[in-house]
């Protein structure tokens, strides 16, 4: 792609670019949608071409302007990953490059292991996705990478840690937090981290509100990470992960790790995820509208102690962060029903919402975090995080919101 074409493309909107960029039908017999290239290996036209491809792939020489070195082997790269990566970039405001992985954890692990070395520190918000927290405790800390947790939304504490931990390398922000939806200030984390060390990396797990409603790269973050298993794919039928950055060198480094780790997203999954991208904004908008209508009505229900949802924030600091970095409240809400018995009965009585972990699908999923997703956490951490006995988390889907509201109300009325 020439530079001129590139800059002309930048003027198109994301919802146009996701459908026009990165895929050339002429390379697939004119088919309107990409083919799936399942081949594990690629045939070289000449031995010289093979030599050249390896020289470029191993970093011994650089690809010349306009040169097409061709593909080698599907663990290194394959056409469906390239197409997907080109098409996902415009969805993330500020991104210039992307890498796709075979799960969200694979993207997060590759990011942390690529950029942190023994002796480095990682500051991270809690509650953090359970798998990520495990990765830090069970794998990174034993090899000498130190983790420093900070409760979500504690802006002063976040700033203090960023300014004082030894050898700050990474700040990992997951916002809003799961399942409390407490928000952390991405812009402040980026500003403080970069003031301290221009090479420190601020990574944001943007799974809950991105790519539609929260744009970390636009407020200074270096790397955006996704469990694409959730909203990006949207149908609860595939595992995938993605990393996006403005600085293409960061993504190149992660791709070099990906070759060693063997965790590139395979062709079929790339193709599936690719076909879901054009509708992610539509799905997320609908889920957010549904969730807001439901959250604001359930907040008035006698059996509900509290609804945790961005439009219902009362803490001025939370409201400030929300208004500064989120465009819409999103499709996740949590209900505090007072006790485990009430939470379990609520789950039992639901007829439309299904009792399952995961989120971001077109169907509504409801779970009890304390006994499931968050059950490995020590009691003190659960308490500090606000993961109470009565809390249920709802990932609102794209069903008719009135049917969902009726379903929640009939289940609550039976408590």
Ligand X SMILES: *Cc1c(COP(=O)(O)O)cnc(C)c1O
Residues 6+ apart with CB under 8 A from 66: 2
Closer residue to ligand X in complex, CB, 110/412: 110
Chain mean position to CA 32:
29
If binding is defined by CB under 6 A, does position 125 make contact with ligand X? no
Question: Please, what is the angle between helix 248-261 and helix 104-115, to 10°?
Answer: 110
Closer residue to ligand X in complex, CB, 134/196: 134
Contact 208, 176 (CB under 8 A): yes
- Tell me how far CA of residue 148 lies from CA of 109, 124, 342, in angstroms: 17, 6, 35
If binding is defined by CB under 6 A, does position 385 make contact with ligand X? no
Burial of 82 (0-12, 13-18, 19+ CB in 10 A): middle
Smallest separation (angstroms) from ligand X to the CB of 211: 14
Contact 244, 217 (CB under 8 A): yes
Q: Using the 8-state DSSP alphabet, how is residue 45 labeled?
A: S
- Which spans in 10-96 are helix H? 14-20, 47-57, 79-88
Q: Using the 8-state DSSP alphabet, how is residue 140 labeled?
A: I
* Structure token pair of residue 365: 């999923």
Contacting residue, 239, 243, 321, 411, with ligand X by CB under 6 A: 239
Among 101-109, 117-125, 142-150, 405-413, the segment contacting ligand X (CB under 6 A): 101-109
Closer residue to ligand X in complex, CB, 53/228: 228
Contacting residue, 205, 222, 269, 407, with ligand X by CB under 6 A: 205
If binding is defined by CB under 6 A, does position 233 make contact with ligand X? no
If binding is defined by CB under 6 A, does position 129 make contact with ligand X? yes
Contacting residue, 220, 241, 386, 397, with ligand X by CB under 6 A: 241
Smallest separation (angstroms) from ligand X to the CB of 60: 34
Contacting residue, 227, 233, 288, 292, with ligand X by CB under 6 A: 227
* Structure token pair of residue 264: 């590139």
If binding is defined by CB under 6 A, does position 207 make contact with ligand X? yes
The binding track of 155-184 with respect to ligand X, each residue x by CB under 6 A or -, is -------------------x---x------
386 C-beta neighbours (distance < 10 Å), count: 19
Smallest separation (angstroms) from ligand X to the CB of 294: 20
Q: 3-class SS at 312?
A: helix
Closer residue to ligand X in complex, CB, 285/358: 358
Contacting residue, 146, 169, 192, 230, with ligand X by CB under 6 A: 230
Residues that bind ligand X (CB under 6 A): 103-105, 129, 131, 174, 178, 205, 207, 227, 229-230, 239, 241
């Amino acid at each position: 792609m020439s530079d001129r074409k590139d800059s002309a493309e930048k003027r198109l909107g994301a919802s146009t670019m996701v459908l026009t960029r990165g895929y050339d039908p002429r390379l697939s017999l004119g088919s309107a949608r990409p083919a799936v290239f399942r081949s594990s290996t690629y045939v070289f036209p000449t031995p010289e071409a093979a030599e050249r491809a390896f020289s470029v792939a191993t970093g011994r020489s650089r690809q010349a302007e306009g040169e097409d070195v061709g593909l080698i082997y599907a663990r290194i790269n394959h056409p469906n990953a390239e197409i997907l990566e080109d098409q996902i970039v415009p969805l993330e405001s500020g991104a210039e490059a992307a890498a796709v992985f075979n799960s969200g954890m694979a993207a997060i692990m590759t990011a942390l292991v690529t950029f942190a070395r023994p002796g480095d520190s990682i500051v991270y918000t809690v509650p953090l996705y359970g798998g990520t927290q495990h990765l830090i405790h069970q794998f990174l800390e034993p090899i000498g990478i130190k983790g420093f947790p900070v409760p979500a939304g504690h802006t002063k504490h976040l700033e203090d840690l960023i300014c004082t931990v030894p050898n700050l390398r990474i700040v990992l922000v997951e916002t809003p937090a799961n399942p409390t939806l407490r928000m952390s200030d991405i812009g402040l984390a980026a500003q403080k981290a970069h003031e301290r060390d221009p090479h420190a990396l601020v990574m944001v797990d943007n799974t809950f509100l991105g790519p539609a409603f929260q744009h970390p790269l636009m407020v200074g973050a270096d790397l955006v990470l996704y469990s694409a298993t959730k909203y990006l794919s949207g149908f609860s039928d595939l595992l995938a992960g993605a990393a996006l950055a403005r600085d293409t060198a960061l993504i190149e480094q992660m791709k070099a790790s990906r070759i060693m780790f063997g965790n590139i997203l395979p062709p079929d999954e790339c193709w599936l995820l690719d076909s879901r991208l054009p509708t992610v904004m539509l799905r997320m908008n609908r889920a957010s509208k549904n969730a807001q209508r439901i959250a604001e009505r359930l907040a008035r229900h006698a059996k509900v102690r509290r609804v945790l949802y961005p439009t219902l924030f009362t803490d001025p600091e939370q409201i400030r962060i929300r208004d500064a970095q989120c465009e819409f409240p999103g499709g996740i809400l949590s209900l505090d029903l007072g006790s485990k018995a009430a939470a379990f009965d609520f789950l039992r009585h639901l007829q439309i919402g299904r009792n399952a972990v995961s989120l971001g699908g077109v169907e509504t999923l409801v779970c009890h975090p304390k006994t499931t997703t968050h059950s490995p956490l020590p009691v003190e951490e659960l308490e500090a995080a606000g993961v109470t006995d009565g809390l249920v988390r709802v990932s609102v889907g794209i069903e008719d919101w009135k049917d969902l509201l009726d379903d929640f109300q009939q289940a609550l009325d039976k408590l």
